[in-house]
Amino acid sequence: MTPDKSLSAVPYYYSSLACGLTPYVPGEQPKDRKFIKLNTNENPYPPSPAVIEAIRNAANENLRLYPDPSCSVLREAAAARWGIKAEQVFGGNGSDEILAFAFAAFFNSAYSERPGQQAVSARSVEPILFPNISYSFYPVYAALWNIPFKTPELDREFNINPQDYKQNCGGVILANPNAPTGKALGIKALKEIAEAQLRNKKVFIVDEAYIEFADSADSGSMIPFINEYPNMLIIHTLSKDASLAGMRAAYAVGSEELIGGLCRIRDSFNSYTMDRLAQAASAAAITDTAYYSEVNAKVCRTRERTSAALADLGFKVIPSQANFIFASPPSDAIKFFAALREKGFLVRHFNRPLTKDWLRISMGTDAEMDALVQACRQIISENNRK
Ligand SMILES: *Cc1c(COP(=O)(O)O)cnc(C)c1O
């Protein structure tokens, strides 16, 4: 990497690792002013009452004790929900943390040599693959661990071409549904990628942050197929579909070998990533499928009516399988973003060449989305008067 001018602003006592990083920039969490917050894909509805109850019950004198490092209650809840073994589940402090562990556990760094293992250090390190438009934390983790990567391009409709991910490489990670586009690949295509990478002896990570909002006939979680693909790791955050972004809780599912790899990294970093409250909350959330399927079906209905309303106003709207909409306003997106902010609505704009004309709008309640559509209508008519 060529040093850029920002490096000169870094204090001299930062490590070369710290100097070289380009950290992820999270969506704004405003403190100064009341916004309708549609910028970080949080769930507009509260967590299940069973979750609040579980947190209350865990808030007791046992907090003086370290939590269970293996997150048993979460693992058992996930095992029961998905009909798998508890040993095939890993609990983590948000899926960002699990992703960081997974990159370290399964993807090779360009500069690492394993002591005493000539074969690995002699092999040139193959780049991992993820789409050029996807969750913007992936390149950040790759840079953190010095993992080379390539980013196959989406097509003009933001579709992933599954063929791109069947080639020899260092491993594959896909968000499915993808962010920020909201487009999902079907189960058949994902199985083909898993199969190709199994033959290639590489790990395929599927980040299912939004899978509970995917309701097309051919899409769904890959968790039922983990026994067919011992190289496939599924990551499932509870931030979005379980309304627990504030709790920091997620789990990963895969073969016992993959889970063992994650444990190796975790236990070289921090053995107690999930606190007692987060473990109790997660187990309750994973168990209360009745509550969440109702809540998330409501979010999907809101997505459909909001998509239709924005299209009526002249937005280009990508059909979404997630709890957000990727839409291009009928006039300059940066100005539109600013105008919405002025009117009290926070959405997300990714100022990069391929996404600069688009806004990612998280789904709020129906009332919030009606207000957003109204604000968009006003902005468009104000623009027309200019
Ligand atoms: C939100 C999001 C995450 C992060 O989830 P946390 O569990 O809150 O860390 C991971 N991947 C994708 C694709 C996301 O959109």
**88-97 per-position pLDDT tens digit:** 999 999 999 9
Query: Which atom of ligand 1 sits closest to the CA of residue 99?
Result: 10
Q: In the beta sheet, which residues pair with residue 80?
A: none
Q: For tokens 């865990």, what's the residue?
A: 58
Query: Which atom of ligand 1 sits closest to the CA of residue 40?
Result: 1
111 SS3 class: coil
Probe target for ligand 1 pocket from 239, 282, 362, with the most ligand atoms within 8 Å of CB: 239
Q: Is 296 in the pocket of ligand 1 (CB under 6 A)?
A: no
Q: Is 42 in the pocket of ligand 1 (CB under 6 A)?
A: no
Alpha-carbon 223 to chain mean position: 16
Ligand 1: residue whose CA is nearest its atom 11: 209
Distance CA 140, CA 270 (A): 20
- What pLDDT, in 10s, does the model give residues 162-175? 999 999 999 999 99
Q: Which helix (H) or strand (E) holds 190?
A: helix 187-199
Distance from the alpha carbon of residue 207 to the mean position of ligand 1, in angstroms: 8
Distance CA 234, CA 5 (A): 38
Query: Which atom of ligand 1 sits closest to the CA of residue 250?
Result: 7
| Nearest C-alpha neighbor of 321 from the set 237, 249, 241 | 241
Q: Is 322 in the pocket of ligand 1 (CB under 6 A)?
A: no
Q: Is 54 in the pocket of ligand 1 (CB under 6 A)?
A: no
Q: Is 182 in the pocket of ligand 1 (CB under 6 A)?
A: no
Q: Is 94 in the pocket of ligand 1 (CB under 6 A)?
A: yes
Distance CA 384, CA 365 (A): 29
Ligand 1: residue whose CA is nearest its atom 1: 209
Long-range contacts at 55-62 (CB < 8 A, ≥ 24 apart): 55/277, 55/280, 55/281, 57/280, 58/276, 58/277, 58/279, 58/280, 58/281, 59/277, 62/276
Q: Angle at which helices 276-287 and 72-82 pack, to 10 degrees?
A: 10
Distance from the alpha carbon of residue 162 to the mean position of ligand 1, in angstroms: 22
Residue by residue, pLDDT tens for the chain (386 residues) are: 444 445 557 888 898 888 888 888 887 777 777 899 999 999 999 999 999 999 999 999 999 999 999 999 999 999 999 999 999 999 999 999 999 999 999 999 986 555 555 544 445 799 999 999 999 999 999 999 999 999 999 999 999 999 999 999 999 999 999 999 999 999 999 999 999 999 999 999 999 999 999 999 999 999 999 999 999 999 999 999 999 999 999 999 999 999 999 999 999 999 999 999 999 999 999 999 999 999 999 999 999 999 999 999 999 999 999 999 999 999 999 999 999 999 999 999 999 999 999 999 999 999 999 999 999 999 999 998 87
Contact yes or no for 250/235 (Cβ under 8 A): yes
Q: Is 209 in the pocket of ligand 1 (CB under 6 A)?
A: yes
